[in-house]
Structure 1
Amino acid sequence: MSGFSLKNKTAIVTGGGSGIGKAIATTFAKSGAFVYILEYNKDNAAETLYEITSSGGQGDWRKCDVSNHKEVVSILDEIGRERKVDILINNAGIAHVGTIEQTPEEDLDRIYEVNVKGVYNCIYGILPHFKGNGGGVIINMASIASVVGISDRFAYSMSKGAVLTMTYSVAKDYLSDNVRCNCISPARVHTPFVDGFIAKNYPGKEEEMFEKLSKTQPIGRMGTPEEVANLALYLCSDSASFITGTNFPIDGGFIKLNG
């Protein structure tokens, strides 16, 4: 993806310590961006930053709980004083399995705090910087669960539906400020979370379950974090300057072909 340059750009990636967030952070750094990783897990953040710097890239990280409004705004203001920020990737999020009857109130609240309020907090905190510096790009990580029904994913689907509609609202409200806001909706992507979920719930049947979950994608396999990162790179590059207020499924045909 060398054709899409982020040279002299500064990007913030939440949840950049693992999975899709890590792939986005390292891909952006390779494309010339200075990358700030906002991550709650210190070890994961340090590992991603090491990969960036050891490959000749530039970056830094901040410990951040995206559900904490004051903390998020304070960190973004601190970063904004250090550098002009051009890109925000709202990737941090948590998963949940269960129907509405299998979703205790405390689980619902936690999903909301991280997946919905966390995105709100970061957009709220970055917009003054974007408006003061001539614009910027926001990518929100949604999910195919935001647009189609998926069994046993009530709370998660609810949260990602909110992310999708936040994207549309922000894109429309800040168009005149040269702020572009889009979202990416992956289907199942092979991340450490998937491996951990299978190991925890299907001990001794990991290989069988991985194959089964892979085949739920019409294309016959899971996506990779790098494929999602490459889409994010395009959407944040100047080549995508005409694109805003749009949802981009990256799903191996799941939405249109699974039925």
Structure 2
Amino acid sequence: MGKVGGGLVLVLWGSPGGERIARYSFIGIDPYLVMTHRGGTATLRRMTGKEQDSSSHHYTLENIPCHDPLEFIQAELGQYRLITPAGMAHDELPRFHGGAVGYLSYETAARFERLPVPERDELGLPEAIFSFTETVLVFDHLKHRVRIVTHLHLDAPDLEAEYLHTQALIENVRQRLRQTPGLPEEPAPLHDSETLRVCSNRTQEEFEAMVRQAQEYIRAGDIFQVVLSQRLSRHVNAAPFTVYRALRAI
């Protein structure tokens, strides 16, 4: 998830695998809700109002008790039921055209099962972040076209006003797509060897001790397979979107 042109967006890009092509990619625009989960608390960033201009959106922040982030997602999306317009072809809409997109960290598993979690939180990242969006750009790689998809609330007090708002929203997105995109400004490249040094979160002695302990567990019959890892990091003097594009090329 990132911020583009004054509004929040989320990207769900279909990656090709071998000779098979992922048909769809998605960009969610201006999520009406962003849920950030830490510990037993969920922070809700909720959009207020119905402005079409993304620069005019206003948000409220609310902290609520939340043990299991998936229960919150289920409750939020459970309020809605999709009604497909009559006469729409079965392939007019992809399986995803709005909803929740985000990530669950490894530590979130302790919310569902009795599993140990690290004693130290070295990165200080949220356990989960999910964005809820109603407006999505759907890239159809098979038909080479982009479709703007949004949702009409049939339980709105004034259905005609809701329909006009939806039309205006689609037109606003269309106009935004016609604008010349501004690429992020790239910082000056780094040349200092010390700054570019790759660092591990484990010393060689610590990692070798982990290997010996795993071997003992195997000999004792407690485990037959284990994945030992270390986290490598280095300073990157590049715009986040540039990092994303580089990761997509891997």
Quickly name the TM-score band, shorter chain normalised. Answer: under 0.3
TM-score normalized by the length of structure 2: 0.25
Q: Which structure has the higher relative contact order (CA within 8 Å, separation 6+)?
A: 1
| Structure whose residues are more often helix by fraction | 1
- Relative to total residues, which structure has the larger strand share, 1 or 2? 2
